[in-house]
Homo-oligomer: A and B are copies of this chain.
């Protein structure tokens, strides 16, 4: 039971510590995303994490440090490509729809993280740089590789790749914003969104044959 050669890499103490840290971050993500950074109180986070207020300070140096901790989790975005590899089989448009759809869904439910972090990103320079480097740029990089590949394959016409990728990210972020802001049109048609964006992006607005 207290097996010293247990199959775990970490001693029990360390494992418990790690778990507790995770619980705290989970709680922070939940509370902050629900109320915003400033309305969230250490006390409420501690309560949800089922630890004492003071305990949080054994794991994080203060409230701002919690945000940094949350940001670090965004690195887990790397799992993304893995999930989408399957869709890479199909043509560019299919992949786009699948990927966009998956991300939109992911965002909306679980990923309160962004909603928790974004506002502060604009205000805290350190956080801003971190966010840009760890999140936006990382995703942009993945997308750029992919779009470039599609261009090379002739599936997409020769475009300015970095710029195009930014536009894709912009629509993505913008749609989230509209939804959060309460736009009924966007909310009602959320499920068709990925396809609509794909239609627009791939076919354009020009009348058929006018290109």
Contact = CB atoms under 8 A, between A and B. Distances in A.
A128 B181 contact: yes
B163 A170 contact: no
A94 B174 CA distance: 23
A105 interface: no
Interface centre among A154, A208, A211 (most CB of B within 10 A): A211
Contacts of A131: 181
A191 interface: no
Contacts of A180: 122, 128
A108 interface: no
Nearest to A129: B182
Contacts of A55: none
A206 interface: yes
* Chain A: number of interface residues, binned into ranges: 35 or more
Given A163-B189, A197-B167, A201-B200, A206 B157 contact: yes
A155 to B, nearest CB: 7
A50 to B, nearest CB: 21
Contacts of A162: 185
Interface in A177-209: 177-178, 180-183, 185-186, 189, 192, 196-197, 199-209
Contacts of A37: 38, 123
Interface in A154-180: 154-157, 159-160, 162-164, 166-167, 169-175, 177-178, 180
Interface stretch (A5-13, A16-24, A77-85, A113-121): A113-121
